[in-house]
C-alpha cells in the first residue's frame, strides 16, 4: 500500500486545492488589477495533465479536492475534468469534489456539476447591491450571479457564500447578508483581506475589516455560540442561536490556523505551494511532463515537497504595514 503524505509536523495531507486557470471574467479590486497579464496557454497543465496530477495525489491519500482559480468555470473544457474525477468519487478514494466560483457561469454548468458528483459549492459574493457589485468586481454583474445561485440550488447543490469583509464597503450590509443567506438556506463565511499580489492603487490596509470587529457587531444582534468544528483550514464557526445559522470566519491575520493545516495548493502551471502564505513551492510539471510513462518521479517530487511544508505563514498587519506579504495573486495560487 502507498504510504500517506505526512509532513514534518505530523500533519496528514488529505486536501488538495487546484487552481485550473489564472484567468477570470471578473476583476475584483482586492484580487486583481484591472489590466492583468495572464499566462500563455502552453504554460498551463492540460486537462489530461490535471487529471494525472490529481489522480496521483488521490493515490497518495488526498480525499478532498477543491477546484478553484481564477474562475474555474471559464477554463475551456473544464466539465470534462470534473467528469473524469467522478471515477474517484465512485471508487470511494475521493470523499468530496467541490469548487469555489464567482457564480457567473453556474447557470450553464450547475446541472453538469451535480451529475459529476459535486454536492457543495462555495460562491463568492461581497454585496447584494447591484451598483456596489459592479464596483467591487469591476466586470461582474449581480443578476447573472443570482441566476447562477438559483441554478445551483435547483440542481441540488448545497451553497456556501464567501464574503470578503471590506471596511467601508459592506459593513452596512452585514445583517442584510446574514438574513439573505438564512432566507435561502445557505451557509455564510466571512474572509479577511489577505496581502496577496499587486492590485494597483487599491489601499489594502484601508480595506482591512477585522473579523473580530465584525463578530462583535454580529454579537450585538444575535447570541453567538462557538462551534468546535474544524475543517483543517482557517475557518472557525459560530451558530446564531436566534436563526440556527452557522457563520464561518476565515481569519488568517488575527488567528493562526496553521497547526491543523491539512492542505496544499496546486497552481494551473503545476507549482505546488505547501503554504498559502509562503513563497516556497515545488515544480511538479517537469516530473509529470518529462515522464509520460511513469508517475514514480512525480510521486517522489510530491513527497519531497511535503517534507518541506512549513509550520505556518507570517502574515502580519499589526505594525500597520503589510508584513509577510506574498507577491503572487490569490488567483494564481487559488483562493
Ligand atoms: N473566482 C473564484 C471566486 O471568486 O470564488 C475562485 C477564486 S478566488 C481567488 C477565491 C476566493 O478568494 C474568493 O472568495 C475571493 O473573494 C477570495 N480572495 C481573492 N483575493 C483575496 C484577498 N486578497 N484576500 C482575501 N480573499 C481574497
Ligand atoms: Fe476573479 Fe475570484 Fe479573483 Fe474575483 S476573487 S477577480 S472572481 S478570481
Check whether 335 has a pLDDT greater than 90: no
Contacts of 331 (CB under 8 A, 6+ apart): 19, 22, 24, 31, 32, 69, 70, 197
| CA–CA separation, 266 and 251 (whole Å) | 22
Mean pLDDT (the chain) is 90
Closest ligand to Cα 98: 1
Helix axes 106-115, 78-91, angle to 10 degrees: 30
More confident residue, 173 or 327: 173
pLDDT of residue 276: 75
CB 284 within 8 A of CB 272: yes
Question: Beta-carbon neighbour count of residue 145 at 10 Å?
Answer: 23
- The Å distance, Cα 162 to ligand 1 centre, comes to 9
Tally of residues, the chain: 335
Check whether 300 has a pLDDT greater than 90: yes
Number of H helices, E strands in the chain: 11, 12
pLDDT of residue 279: 81
Mutate to test the pocket of ligand 2, among 137, 144, 164, 328 (most ligand atoms within 8 A of CB): 137
| pTM (two decimals) | 0.92
Average pLDDT of the residues in 23-28: 97
Average pLDDT of the residues in 115-122: 98
Distance of CA 102 to the CA centre of its chain: 11
Per-residue confidence at 108, pLDDT binned at 50, 70, 90? very high
pLDDT per position as a tens digit, 215-236: 999 999 999 999 987 766 778 8
Please provide the DSSP assignment of 124-167 as one string. Answer: E---S-HHHHHHHHSS--HHHHHHHHHHHHHHT-EEEEEEE-BT
Backbone torsions φ then ψ of 187, nearest 5 degrees = -80, 160
Does the domain at 15-333 match CATH 1.20.1250.20? Answer given as no
What percent of the chain stands above pLDDT 70? 87
Structural element, H or E, at residue 136:
helix 130-137
Which residue matches cell numbers 496557454?
41
Strands (E), 201-280: 224-227, 235-240, 246-250, 263-266, 271-273
Which residue matches cell numbers 513563497?
279
pLDDT per position as a tens digit, 56-105: 999 999 999 999 999 999 999 999 999 999 999 999 999 999 999 999 99
CA quadruple 19, 24, 27, 33: dihedral sign: positive
71 lines ligand 1 (CB under 6 A): yes
pLDDT per position as a tens digit, 171-206: 999 999 999 999 999 999 999 887 655 566 555 556
CB 145 within 8 A of CB 124: no
* 278, three cell numbers: 509562503
| CA–CA separation, 278 and 281 (whole Å) | 8
Per-residue confidence at 116, pLDDT binned at 50, 70, 90? very high
pLDDT of residue 314: 67
Mutate to test the pocket of ligand 1, among 330, 331, 332 (most ligand atoms within 8 A of CB): 330
27 lines ligand 2 (CB under 6 A): yes
CB 333 within 8 A of CB 265: yes
Amino acid at each position: 500500500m502507498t504510504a500517506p503524505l505526512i509532513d514534518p509536523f505530523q500533519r496528514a495531507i488529505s486536501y488538495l486545492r487546484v487552481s485550473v486557470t489564472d484567468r477570470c471574467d471578473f476583476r475584483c479590486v482586492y484580487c486583481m488589477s484591472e489590466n492583468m497579464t495572464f499566462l500563455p496557454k502552453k504554460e498551463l497543465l492540460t486537462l489530461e495533465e490535471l487529471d494525472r496530477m490529481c489522480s496521483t495525489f488521490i493515490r497518495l491519500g488526498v480525499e478532498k479536492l477543491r477546484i478553484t482559480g481564477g474562475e474555474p468555470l471559464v477554463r475551456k473544457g473544464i466539465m470534462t475534468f470534473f467528469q473524469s474525477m467522478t471515477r474517484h468519487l465512485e471508487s470511494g478514494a475521493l470523499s468530496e469534489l467541490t469548487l469555489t466560483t464567482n457564480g457567473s457561469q453556474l447557470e450553464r454548468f450547475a446541472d453538469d456539476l451535480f451529475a459529476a458528483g459535486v454536492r457543495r459549492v462555495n460562491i463568492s459574493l461581497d454585496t447584494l447591491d447591484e451598483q456596489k457589485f459592479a464596483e467591487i468586481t469591476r466586470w461582474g454583474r449581480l443578476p447573472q450571479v443570482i441566476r447562477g445561485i438559483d441554478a445551483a440550488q435547483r440542481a441540488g447543490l448545497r451553497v456556501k457564500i464567501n464574503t470578503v469583509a471590506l471596511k467601508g464597503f459592506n459593513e452596512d450590509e452585514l445583517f442584510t447578508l446574514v438574513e439573505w443567506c438564512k432566507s435561502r438556506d445557505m451557509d455564510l463565511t466571512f474572509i479577511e483581506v489577505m496581502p496577496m499580489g499587486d492590485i494597483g492603487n487599491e489601499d489594502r490596509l484601508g480595506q482591512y475589516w477585522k473579523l473580530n470587529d465584525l463578530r462583535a457587531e454580529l454579537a450585538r444582534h444575535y447570541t453567538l455560540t462557538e462551534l468546535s468544528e474544524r475543517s483543517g483550514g482557517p475557518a472557525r464557526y459560530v451558530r446564531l442561536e436566534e436563526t440556527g445559522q452557522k457563520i464561518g470566519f476565515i481569519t488568517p491575520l488575527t488567528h493562526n490556523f496553521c497547526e491543523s493545516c491539512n492542505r496544499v495548493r496546486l497552481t494551473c502551471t503545476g507549482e505546488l505551494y505547501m503554504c498559502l502564505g509562503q513563497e516556497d513551492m515545488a515544480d511538479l510539471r517537469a516530473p509529470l511532463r518529462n515522464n509520460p510513462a511513469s508517475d514514480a518521479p512525480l510521486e517522489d517530487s510530491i513527497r519531497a515537497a511535503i517534507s518541506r511544508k512549513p509550520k505556518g505563514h507570517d502574515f502580519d498587519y499589526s505594525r500597520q504595514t503589510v508584513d509577510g506579504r506574498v507577491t503572487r495573486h490569490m488567483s494564481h495560487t487559488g483562493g
